[in-house]
Structure 1
Amino acid sequence: MPSLLECCEKYFNTRNLYELLEIPKESLEKDIKKAYYKISLKVHPDRVPEDEKEIATEKFKVLGKVHQVLTDKNKKALYDEQGVIEDDDEEGSLSTWLELWKKIFKPITTEEIENYEKEYVGSELERADIKKAYVGGKGCINHIINSVPFIAVEDEPRLKEIVQEMIDAEEVPEFKIFTNEPAAKRKRRHQKYAREKVESDELKKKIKQSSNLTLEQQIMKRQESRQNSFSSLMDKLIEKYGDEDDDDIVDFDEIVKKNKKKANNNKKKVVDKANKKPTTKPKDRLVQNGKIKKKKN
């Protein structure tokens, strides 16, 4: 079984626990907890695509163990002095990463997220994150928006202003993909964002409506929705096939028979055409044993 430091190197390309959490060695416990929370959000198995869940789970386990080491005074002191970690625990201690997550972090409310956004936007932390994302994505605005919390398409003017200040101060290199972004790329991003915003607003509306209903009301609403969907389907069928009969009642069995008969007739025409033999043969050619030969004069 690989040691914790080996796992750190395998999944995070470093054996330094502080470097992994992107914090200085003298950080306090609250700083360690905050850094752990920030990194673990990025690799949480529920926040990555399906094909990345297995690796994300292993990363999450490693982060949980790192947090345990750095928040335990004795283990932390041993690591700080000798670079050694007592990680000979049973596998079960790593498999409880989800329980550890639940113990450390309470459920986050919308109000708390909004308060954190107010503190984060415009802060030095946000500026540092933008700088890191800009360099990491080589100037790709899509990468920056996806990497930095709370940055959206409407924040592009502010984002460009911040990055341009860094470029002018020679803090970061200038990437043409940022300063001269193709109009087509920008248009696709804005269109995608507009679609996602509409979907997000609809989802929020449904969640809000559902939260105000009792379980019985939600079940009844779901049944009503299914009934409306069925009625809509029947209306479309009647609209499509309603002219097949003079009566108001549509005979679907008769329609199916007509369609089958029509399909069989079309199939028969194709087969007859394929098997049809030419009535005349070229005068100067004969077919013999599957080969075409010219007639002898």
Structure 2
Amino acid sequence: MGLLELCRQAFGARDLYQVLGVRREASGDEVRRGYHKVSLRVHPDRAAPAEKDEATRLFQILGKVYAVLSDQEQRALYDQQGIVDEESTVLTQDRNWEEYWRLLFKKITVKDIEDFEAKYKDSAEELADIKAAYMDFTGDMDKIMESVLCVDVRDEPRIKKIIQDAINSGELPSYKAFIKETKQKMNARKRKAEQEAKEAEKSREELGLGTGDDDLKALIQSRNENRKKEMDDFLSQMEAKYGNKSKKGGKKGMK
């Protein structure tokens, strides 16, 4: 069975870009992040024993999709003719897809997250991300706070000041959602953050967790599905953005 048909059966989509959740015009890095984000959710290591075989199958299909879209010639063929060369070495070579995945993505540890947060906050990169989030979400602080890495309710005054300064300087437009945000909305966001912090602490105490990598994994697994998805997305962004690069001369990961 060909790759396109496998994608239709497994993911309900025959378009390779749709499988990874990216635009057809996506850059190589965007395709890579899309692959990582989707594959992280079906990784065999995260599946229940009874679901491991199916997770492995889905994981292998995703690996093949990425292998095609990350190969310049194969992607061009697919874009131009809508077909996949099933006989190409990209798909026919004997490959361990989990090893391939690990070559692409560095495993993120608790220390990595802490080190990254220390370097990221108040950096030029964070500043750019905040401004981009403001534009993407037309000033909606709920979505901005969910989008920017490593921020919590304590960072909100700092985030708002950065945005307001950029508005005052004319760098950013003045969106009503930001300028006229109601106290009700602000308080609701604060209450939600405080409740989530309490739930996280309660889960940690109930499970007797510390701060190790296995403890982080157990804590994630103890949360409800929505919060688990958000944490998966965060780890996906971290691993895809700062994981090992396959190209010579690329970044080797966070240091």
TM-score, normalization by structure 1: 0.48
Matched residue, 1:36: 32
5+ unaligned residues in a row in structure 1: which ranges?
A: 23-34, 48-56, 213-297
Q: Structure 2 matches for 1:84-95, cutoff 5 A?
A: 84=77, 87-89=84-86
1:253-279: per-residue Cα shift (whole Å, max 9, x none)?
xxxxxxxxxxxxxxxxxxxxxxxxxxx
1:140–1:177 Cα contact (<8 Å) kept:
yes
Partner of 1:88: helix, strand, or coil?
coil
User: CA RMSD for the aligned pairs?
Assistant: 4.3
- Residue 127 of structure 1 and its aligned partner are, at CA, apart by 2.1
1:16 pairs with 2:16: no
Q: C-alpha separation between the residues in 2 aligned to 1:58 and 1:87? A: 18
How many residue pairs end up in the alignment? Answer: 182
1:4-37: per-residue Cα shift (whole Å, max 9, x none)?
994226764633352x635xxxxxxxxxxxx835
Highest relative contact order (Cα 8 Å, sep 6+), 1 or 2? 2
Q: C-alpha separation between the residues in 1 aligned to 2:38 and 2:162? A: 24
- Partner amino acid for 1:21? D
- Residue 200 of structure 1 and its aligned partner are, at CA, apart by 1.2
Matched residue, 1:187: 187
- Partner amino acid for 1:45? R
Note closer, same or farther for the CA distance 1:46–1:118 as it changes in structure 2 (3 Å cut): farther
- Partner amino acid for 1:193? A
TM-score, normalization by structure 2: 0.54
Note closer, same or farther for the CA distance 1:208–1:111 as it changes in structure 2 (3 Å cut): farther
Matched residue, 1:176: 176
Partner of 1:84: helix, strand, or coil?
helix
1:204-260: per-residue Cα shift (whole Å, max 9, x none)?
334445899xxxxxxxxxxxxxxxxxxxxxxxxxxxxxxxxxxxxxxxxxxxxxxxx
Q: C-alpha separation between the residues in 1 aligned to 2:199 and 2:135? A: 31
Q: Structure 2 matches for 1:1-297, cutoff 5 A?
A: 2=4, 6-8=15-17, 12=21, 14-18=23-27, 21-22=29-30, 36-37=32-33, 40-41=36-37, 44-45=40-41, 65-66=65-66, 70=70, 75-76=71-72, 78=73, 83-84=76-77, 87-89=84-86, 100-209=100-209
1:43–1:60 Cα contact (<8 Å) kept:
no
Partner of 2:202: helix, strand, or coil?
helix
Note closer, same or farther for the CA distance 1:192–1:125 as it changes in structure 2 (3 Å cut): same
Q: C-alpha separation between the residues in 1 aligned to 2:134 and 2:92? A: 40
1:7–1:62 Cα contact (<8 Å) kept:
no
Q: C-alpha separation between the residues in 1 aligned to 2:103 and 2:200? A: 30
Q: C-alpha separation between the residues in 2 aligned to 1:127 and 1:110? A: 23
Aligned-residue sequence identity (percent) comes to 25
1:118-138: per-residue Cα shift (whole Å, max 9, x none)?
122222222222222212222
- Partner amino acid for 1:111? K
- Residue 178 of structure 1 and its aligned partner are, at CA, apart by 1.0
Q: C-alpha separation between the residues in 2 aligned to 1:12 and 1:142? A: 23
Note closer, same or farther for the CA distance 1:108–1:10 as it changes in structure 2 (3 Å cut): closer
- Partner amino acid for 1:115? D
- Residue 188 of structure 1 and its aligned partner are, at CA, apart by 1.1
- Residue 101 of structure 1 and its aligned partner are, at CA, apart by 3.0
Q: C-alpha separation between the residues in 1 aligned to 2:135 and 2:59? A: 24
